[in-house]
Structure 1
Amino acid sequence: MAPVVVEFSAREPERLARWWADVLGWHLDGTSVRPTGAGVELRFVPSSTTKTGKNGVHLDLRSESHDDQNKIVERLFNAGARFADIDQSSDVPWVVMADVEGNELCVLEPRKVYERTGPVAAIVVDTPDPRAQAHAWAETTGMDLVGDRAEFASLRPPSGEGPYLEFLAADSGPTGMLRLLAE
């Protein structure tokens, strides 16, 4: 199975890597953040480009209960994250935030499906064709296809542990300061 890596372009890669390592409780290795258990490597590379608009890739963070969701939101906010508006409805059960460089993330309400993912429940990718992207990534990574609809497709590691890779229907493909790599 080819591992999946999320790469962040950052004005201050060391600072952003340290921030993510701290909030996830993972290991910092230079400008890489590695999970202590189930998870996916996060890499941070320098960029002089300023973030404009919503990223086409973001992380969904898992919570174990509504109280845990509130604690995660509070911990992120106290670490410098801010609430973000990406035109989400006011009645969604998740909380949209942005890290210290403005990269969007969601703190999900408890969902049984994500109980074995570790702190990152899913890597979410905007794409015009979720099915085609999911099938291509399944072939590249060896992940199992577990959801296959026109508007949403999902992959899961064969071990059942680690984050899902989810593809959502959007007008354009991944853009912005994060990208998904298979190594």
Structure 2
Amino acid sequence: MASLVVEFSAQDPQRLARWWADVLGWELDAGAGTTVHPVGPGVELRFVPGGTAGEGQNDVHLDLRSESHDGQNRLVERLFNAGARFADVGQGDEVPWVVMADVEGNELCVLEPRKVYERTGPVAAVVVHTPDPRAAARSWAERTGMDLVSDRAEFAALCPVSGEGPHLEFLVSTSVAAGRVRVLAR
């Protein structure tokens, strides 16, 4: 079974890697300082040179898990104090999650508590915007060996067979462009 890697194109890969390692409580590699390894369930985050400041919505983003509504508020506050800012990607005022951007403008969502993510670790899901969620999910299920747990035209999702680690989710989007973040199978 292949594992997932999320790769960020960054203006300053070491700085962005340190930021993510700090906010997730994960380990930064001892070598170049550009890979973040999960402590417990998670997904490896890799940071490579070449990014530009965040302009527009990425086609891949991370959803962060919270265990309670107070925990969600504390996480939002911690991210904000670490340099994240609030972001508007058209989510409106009525959604229960909080959209933010990291220090280089990459979007992330801080989710309200959801039972489905209780065994994922700090990253609940890697979310991919695609014109065809069903086709993308089926292709990734073959590549990774993950279980297909939702298969609808507007939303499809995979879950690790063990139930531990982030989900890989696909949302329908007609305006997908190459972004600063991408997901890889390793």
The TM tier, using the shorter chain, reads over 0.9
The separation in 1 between residues aligned to 2:49 and 2:135, in whole angstroms, is 31
User: Equivalent of 1:44, from 19, 23, 47?
Assistant: 47
Q: How far is 1:48 from its partner?
A: 5.1
1:123 is paired with a residue whose SS is strand
Amino acid at match of 2:122: P
User: Equivalent of 1:128, from 115, 126, 131?
Assistant: 131
Q: TM-score, normalised by structure 1?
A: 0.98
Match of 1:66 in 2: 69
**Could you tell me whether the CA contact under 8 Å between 1:146 and 1:156 is conserved in 2?**
yes
Matched, 1:75 2:103: no
**Could you tell me whether the CA contact under 8 Å between 2:51 and 2:180 is conserved in 1?**
no
What is the RMSD of the two structures over their aligned residues, measured on CA atoms? 0.9
Alignment of 1:118-157 (within 5 A): 118-157=121-160
Match of 1:18 in 2: 18
Gaps of 5+ in 1: none
Matched, 1:96 2:112: no
Gaps of 5+ in 2: none
Count of residue pairs the alignment pairs up: 183
Any idea what the Cα deviations from partners look like across 1:39-80, whole Å, max 9, x if unmatched? 000000001544321100000000000000000000000000
Alignment of 1:26-37 (within 5 A): 26-29=26-29, 30-37=33-40
**Kindly tell me: are residues 174 and 5 of structure 1, through their superposed partners in 2, closer, same or farther at Cα, counting changes over 3 Å?**
farther
**Kindly tell me: are residues 147 and 157 of structure 1, through their superposed partners in 2, closer, same or farther at Cα, counting changes over 3 Å?**
same
Give the fraction of aligned pairs with identical amino acids, expressed as a percent: 75
The separation in 2 between residues aligned to 1:72 and 1:40, in whole angstroms, is 19
Any idea what the Cα deviations from partners look like across 1:76-122, whole Å, max 9, x if unmatched? 00000000000111010000000000000000000000000000000
User: Equivalent of 1:166, from 160, 164, 169?
Assistant: 169
